[in-house]
Amino acid sequence: YEKLYTLGKGNFGKVYLVEDRESGEQYAVKVVDKKMFKSGDQRQHAQREQSICETFASGLSHKNIVRVYDVLTEDDYIYIVMEYVEGGELFDKIKQSKGLAEPTARRWFREIIEAVEYIHDNNIVHRDLKPENVLIDNTQRIRICDFGFGNVFKERHQVLSTYCGSPFYAAPEMVTATPYRGPPVDLWSCGVILFAMLTGSLPFQGDEMPQLFQKISCGQYTIPPYVTRDASDLIQKLLCKDAKDRITAKDCLLHPWL
């Protein structure tokens, strides 16, 4: 591959746009620098991401998840070769228009949930769903990316204990450091994304982290009155404080709003 330019930077490496010298095809390559790891937890996250991406590269694929073509490893680096999605982030679309028209939000949110249902059915949890990790391709189709905090669970009721992801999208069981099941955590994050798509703002905000975490743990938020009844109902079912009562991806797709 020939490196063209840098697409983005993270804590442990960069994502480059590259071109296959023979075919001229362009790809995004995430380069994880193992030398940047300062703890066993960080190494573990990278190993999990590598394992999940290898699973995708070996045949697991969905139209709303960024495709992984190959995973290459060296002593100091992991290279994840993915399709290049040109359309930008959902975050930018929300920011530009301060919220989306409901028909657009419905179409894109359904695609997000279809992707989430697919990974959950394949025993994978994302744990960092947010508009920055949702890309929109040049056909206006949603593509979920970045499984850096992903994990594999053996059974639906398996309990996880690593607290990760973005605080604004974190479920109550995350911010209270309670052992949790993976799928409900993703569905909470989807609820925050849906709220942002329809309102252009976040349901939980605070000047300091303790204040933010208090609001999340209490489920303290207000849906603006202009959000339609069915959309409000779905947000409430996703942002259900009790994880065991939170709606699943499968049931979400059966909700009247979708």
Strands (E), 131-224: 134-136, 142-144, 151-152, 159-160, 180-181
User: What tokens were used for 32?
Assistant: 């994880």
User: What tokens were used for 69?
Assistant: 């073509």
Q: Of these residues, 76, 128, 230, 251, which one is catalytic?
A: 128
User: What tokens were used for 177?
Assistant: 């450091």
C-alpha distances (whole Å) from 55 to each of 50, 70, 122, 186 are 9, 10, 10, 20
30 is in an annotated binding site: yes
Nearest partner of 134 among 179, 94, 184, 188, judged by Cα: 94
Q: Are 179 and 167 in contact (CB under 8 A)?
A: no
User: What tokens were used for 189?
Assistant: 């994050």
Q: Are 213 and 175 in contact (CB under 8 A)?
A: yes
**186: annotated active-site residue:** no
- 43-48, long-range: CB within 8 Å, 24+ apart, which pairs? 44/162, 45/148, 45/149, 45/164, 46/12, 46/78, 46/148, 48/147, 48/150, 48/151, 48/152
Per the DSSP assignment, residues forming a β-bridge with 181 are 159
Annotated binding site: 30
Question: Which are the catalytic amino acids?
Answer: 128
Annotated binding site for ATP: 30
